[in-house]
Amino acid sequence: MKEIKLISGSSHPLLAQEIAKLLKIKLTPITLKRFPNDNLFCRIEESIRNEDVFILQTSALPVSDSFMELLLMIDAAKYASAGRITAVLPYYPYVRSDKKDQPRIPVTARLVADVLQTAGAERILTMDLHALQILSFFRMPADQPLSVPVVVDYLKKKDLTNTVIVSPDVGGLQRARFYAKKLNLPIAIMDKRRDPKNQKINIGVIIGNVREKCAIIIDDEISTGGTLLETAEALVKQGAKEVVGVCIHPIFAKDTEKKVIRSKLKELVVTNTLPFKPQNNRKNNRIKVLSIAPILAQAIRCVHEGASVSELFI
Ligand code: R5P
């Protein structure tokens, strides 16, 4: 295969440009449009024959349109004789539907994996999955570079004396443990439960000592903000001095940003796996957006050169 070709869907053009700049390449031109009958269309505007093609599309709103557009781009690349097609998914579509934990429900994250393969993807690059088992839904190589290096670098610039890393639920324990190890900090876990009927969050016991400490909550995403803000409140009730949130994927459903601004959180750190831009930066400087472009650029380079991706993030 000759060159790296990076094609961007419409979900996150800024991230695609940032990655292309780091790779010192130009984005491969593509036309994306919607016909009057609402059907999507795409056309890759230069030859990609035998090239190493990376198609970037994150799961931004509207999620199903973003996904359909991704499938069209993969299909177009296949017909255009791409040497190899890697789907680059900074935020994986339907990531939370990853298990059959109720009767008569789909496992949509697995279905997404099947459909990507049918469309013609040959490799997957995604980031900070909600659960590790999603990687095993693929019958093709799938890598999950983590945003840990950029987040840890940022946190290390702070005074971390008397700080504790907090996982908001048992599912996030492995992730929190990873950060705690990198930062050499103790860990605490919350017993979070979500009512499957109304999605309301209930925080039970806290395991670990948070009294008089700065608590850093580590979570994979912020959607309604329920998890983060309820956890923060419970920590304050237990005597935490201040609370910082780290949520990798900034979904920010509806009025979540306002809720964060009104909350007592000292700071919220997110990344640009999704195209989130704080609305009012002056009032809102409590929300920090870190760029994961260097991580994805490095991972793309490793895949192209046949080097290990996981070793980058240990
Ligand atoms: C759930 O298990 C996830 O790890 C996140 O805690 C959750 O998706 C965050 O969603 P929300 O902001 O709506 O509570």
Give 50-70 pLDDT, tens digit per residue: 999 999 999 999 999 999 999
Whole-number pLDDT of residue 314: 65
Choice from 92, 128, 223, 254 to test ligand 1 binding pocket (greatest atom count within 8 A of CB): 223
Whole-number pLDDT of residue 266: 95
Nearest ligand 1 atom to alpha carbon 171: 2
Whole-number pLDDT of residue 264: 85
Distant-in-sequence, close-in-space partners of 186: CB < 8 Å, separation ≥ 6: 164, 165, 180, 208, 209
Both tokens of residue 193? Answer: 């439960």
68-82 per-position pLDDT tens digit: 999 999 999 999 999
DSSP 251: -
| 99 CB near ligand 1 (under 6 Å) | no
Burial, 250: exposed, middle or buried (Cβ in 10 Å; 0-12, 13-18, 19+)? buried
Nearest ligand 1 atom to alpha carbon 253: 13
Q: Among residues of the chain, what percentage have pLDDT more than 90?
A: 87
Whole-number pLDDT of residue 205: 84
306 phi-psi bin (left φ>0, alpha ψ -120 to 50, beta other): left
Nearest residue (by CA) to ligand 1, atom 6, is: 227
| 220 CB near ligand 1 (under 6 Å) | yes
- CA–centroid distance, 225 to ligand 1, in Å, is 7
pLDDT averages per 10-residue partition of the chain, 314 residues: 93 98 98 98 98 98 97 98 98 96 96 98 97 94 95 97 96 94 96 76 86 97 95 94 98 93 94 91 82 97 93 70
Whole-number pLDDT of residue 191: 85
**CA–CA distance, 166 with 207 (Å, rounded to integer):** 10
Lookup result for tokens 């299909």: 75
From the list 236, 240, 245, 239, the residue with the least C-alpha distance to 267 is: 245
**CA–CA distance, 219 with 223 (Å, rounded to integer):** 11
| 222 CB near ligand 1 (under 6 Å) | yes
Nearest ligand 1 atom to alpha carbon 224: 13
Whole-number pLDDT of residue 94: 98
- CA–centroid distance, 227 to ligand 1, in Å, is 6
Whole-number pLDDT of residue 192: 77
Q: Examine the residue annotation and report whether 192 is marked as an active-site residue of this protein.
A: yes
